[in-house]
Amino acid sequence: MARKRLDLTFPPRQSLKPVIYHLVKDYDLVPNILRAQIHPAQEGRMVLEVTGTKEDFAAGVAFLEGQGLIVNEAASDIVLDEERCVNCGLCTAVCKPDALTLDPEAQTLCFDKDKCVYCEACVIACPRRAITLTF
Amino acid sequence: MAKSWEEINARIASGEAVVFTAEEFASLAADEGVSAAAKRVDVVTTGTFGPMCSSGVILNFGHSDPPIRMAEVWLNDVAAYGGLAAVDTYLGVTQPSTTRGLEYGGAHVIEDLLRGRAVRLRATSPGTDCYPRTEIDTWITLDDLNQAYFFNPRNAYQNYAVAVNTTDRALHTYLGTLLPRLGNATYCSAGALSPLLNDPTYRTIGVGSRIFVAGAPGYVAWEGTQHNPHADRDEHGVPVRPAGTLAVIADLKAASPEFFSAASFTGYGVSSFVGIGVPIPVLDEEIAATLALTDADITATIYDYGVAGRSRPSFGTVSYAQLRTGSITVEGKKVPTGPISSLPKARKIAAELKRWIAEERFAIAEPLQLLPQVGSQAQKPLDIRTGEAI
Ligand code: SF4
Ligand code: SF4
């Protein structure tokens, strides 16, 4: 079993529900949607974490591509530049899932990537531009 | 047990002075009592590292041949003031770049200079008999400048607001992104480490005080703009909302990028984090009592930044100890908090200033003139009126 992150780009007018349904039903994959921006008339994007065997994962990705989706396996990542960070803590005020918190004693920034849902709120909030979303 | 400035400076000069940071002093006072702590410690150091918009540098470029009287000046496409003498300018931290907008501004130019990077200088002039050149386009570094010094009209705010937002949309403010419907709260003070919160009535901090500015030795030059000694105070005499401020001066060439950081607040603009540290002599038990206060004793007032008027509605006060836990309660709702002023940096500044005094024998200076006290001119608003109405 492996857990991988996928960055999906949907062409306009592609509905998303059947795709996820088929990943579960036909390929035995367990998707966890981290982030989705779907608008019927526009290009959509979804970032999800998928758990399953290697074989199922490969078959699932092939299925998604067959559906006309652009699948990026080297999914986007949230990167913290510790050199630029001044530990102001502003990002912690906008991080809803508490991926970014301050150490209670030292008041220095702690980043628990497992909790991150790639919402990018911190990217916009950081006055030092120390957090970036890389592709 | 009163100690004089002279006695304390003599102890600093001989290397015998006992110097504590404000946090260390508070824990000593908690263990041994204020009066024992006051006896033992000579100087307490404070520190703060928050965004301070009213900051900037005075620069002198030297003369080109033929010379120019710079009327319009840009540094890396950030406009600097052209209304001084031929090759003098003032660059403010909040000025945005004409090419990169709010992502790069005066603060970033200053940080680039501090990091030793070359900065592009462009200037234009109508040309005069004594200054015939009409244009210049060249590159400078901090070393090339004759004079380069901070003159920050308002730093080290004594306390600040806690900002929340009751509206239905996110607000982008100088206190960061405020999420809708009380989604978060931001605050901005070093609390118990903050310089003016440790000397709430400005007994020891005044014009001529020797201080730490962005890693350089500097001075309090004047009261800061909007200095307001009349803000509401608690039972310790400590203001519960923004109150006193300092105007400071220091050599940019002696400063460090570790203690000056450019900032871009999305939807608001450019600013800079400035590190300020002030030493406070433990003259007597009265000052020791305020030096011993902790984040649990110091409070700030919560304001609704959803109301963009001069007087914002308030939701009462909350202690810095509570704010630092990561959440507070506003209107019965648990609201996550985020600071803006960096406590790790404030601690570094207080520790560095302690090292200056204890090891480098950095002398402290009695104010040449006190800052405006309670009873001085009140802060006045700007009314909108016509010439005839005056
Ligand atoms: S993108 Fe940033 S704000 Fe959003 S969850 Fe991840 S760390 Fe938190
Ligand atoms: S907002 Fe930026 S500078 Fe401040 S703690 Fe977060 S990452 Fe660091």
Q: What pLDDT tens digit does each residue of chain B (390 aa) get?
A: 689 999 999 999 999 999 999 999 999 999 999 999 999 999 999 999 999 999 999 999 999 999 999 999 999 999 999 999 999 999 999 999 999 999 999 999 999 999 999 999 999 999 999 999 999 999 999 999 999 999 999 999 999 999 999 999 999 998 999 999 999 999 999 999 999 999 999 999 999 999 999 999 999 999 999 999 999 999 999 999 999 999 999 999 999 999 999 999 999 999 999 999 999 999 999 999 999 999 999 999 999 999 987 789 999 999 999 999 999 999 999 999 999 999 999 999 999 999 999 999 999 999 999 999 998 988 888 989 998 887
Determine which of A85, A88, A92, A115 to mutate to test the interface with B (most B C-beta atoms within 10 Å). Answer: A88
* Tokens encoding A135: 């592709």
Which residue matches tokens 């531009």?
Answer: A129
Residue B274 contacts residue B152 (beta carbons within 8 Å) = yes
Cα dihedral across residues B345, B351, B357, B359: positive or negative: negative
Q: Which one of the ligands is nearest to B339 CA?
A: 2
Q: Return the pLDDT at B298.
A: 97
Helix (H, G, I), strand (E, B) or coil at B42: coil
Closest approach of chain B CAs to the CA of A28, in angstroms? 38
Residue A47 beta carbon below 6 angstroms from any ligand 2 atom: no
β-bridge partners, B339: B187
Cβ neighbours of residue B290 under 8 Å, at least 6 residues apart?
B197, B198, B199, B200, B236, B237, B238
Question: Residue A7: pLDDT above 90?
Answer: no
Residue that has been written with the tokens 């016509």 in this structure: B386
Beta bridge partners of A73: none
Q: Tell me how far apart the alpha carbons of residues B146 and B61 are, in angstroms, rounded to a whole number.
A: 6
pLDDT (0 to 100) of residue A16 = 59
Q: Which ligand is nearest to the CA of B263?
A: 2
Return the C-alpha torsion angle B252, B256, B257, B260, nearest 10. -70
The predicted pLDDT at position B272 comes to 98
Sheet of strand B96-97: strand arrangement? B101-105, B96-97, B78-80, B72-75, B119-124, B135-140
How far does residue A119's CA lie from ligand 1's centre (Å)?
5
Measure in Å the smallest separation between the Cα of B75 and chain A Cα atoms: 20
What Å distances lie between residue A77 and A93, A124, B367, CA to CA?
20, 15, 52
* Nearest CA among B345, B172, B187, B324 for reference residue B273: B345
Annotated catalytic residue within B130, B384, B389, B390: B130
CA A78–ligand 2 middle distance (angstroms) = 13
Please give the pLDDT value at position B390. 78
Take atom 8 of ligand 2 and give the residue whose Cα is closest: A85
Contact call for B338 and A121, based on CB within 8 A = no
Cα B356 from chain centroid?
20
Q: Could you write out the DSSP letters of every residue in chain A?
A: -EEEEEEEEEPTT--SHHHHHHHHHTT--EEEEEEEE--TTS-EEEEEEEEE-HHHHHHHHHHHHHTT-EEESS--EEEE-TTT-----GGGGT-TT-SEEE-TTT--EEE-GGG-----HHHHH-TT--EEEE-
Say whether B338 and A93 touch across the interface (CB within 8 A).
yes
- In this predicted structure, the answer to whether residue A38 has a pLDDT above a threshold of 80 is no
Lowest mean pLDDT among A63-72, A73-82, B209-218, B232-241: A73-82
Residues in chain B: 390
Q: How far is B103 from chain A (nearest CA, A)?
A: 9
pLDDT value, residue A47: 83
Residue B186 to residue B336: CA distance in whole angstroms: 9
Binding pocket residue ranges, ligand 1, CB within 6 Å: A 78, 94-95, 97, 99-100, 116-122
On the question of pLDDT at A75 being above 70, the answer is: no
pLDDT > 70: percent of chain A: 92
B130 is catalytic: yes
Helix (H, G, I), strand (E, B) or coil at B263: strand
Confidence at residue A9, expressed as pLDDT on a 0 to 100 scale: 85
- For residue B143, how many other CB atoms are within 10 A of its CB? 9
Cα atoms in the 13 Å half-sphere on the side-chain side of B178: 25
Residues in chain A, total: 135
| Distance between CA atoms of residues A87 and B340, nearest Å | 8
- Residue A111 Cα: closest atom of ligand 1: 7
Average pLDDT over residues A97-118: 93
pTM of the predicted protein model: 0.90
- Closest C-alpha among B81, B112, B54 to residue B271: B54
Half-sphere exposure of B243 (CA within 13 A, CB side): 29
A109 contacts: CB under 8 Å, gap ≥ 6: A80, A85, A87, A89, A91, A92, A100, A101, A102, A103
Question: b/e for B202-235, b at 16 or more Cβ within 10 A?
Answer: bbbbbbebbbbbbbbbbbbbbbbeebbbebebee
pLDDT of residue A14: 65
Question: Mean pLDDT in chain A?
Answer: 87
The one-letter amino acid code at B4 reads S
Q: What is the ipTM of this complex?
A: 0.93
CB B289 within 8 A of CB B309: no
pLDDT for res A41: 72
Taken in order B58, B63, B68, B69, is the CA torsion positive or negative?
positive
Q: Which stretches of chain B sit within 8 Å of chain A by CB?
A: 49-51, 103, 176-177, 179, 184-186, 261-266, 271, 273, 324-326, 336-345
Q: Are A70 and A18 in contact (CB under 8 A)?
A: no
HSE (side-chain half, CA atoms, 13 Å) at B127: 6
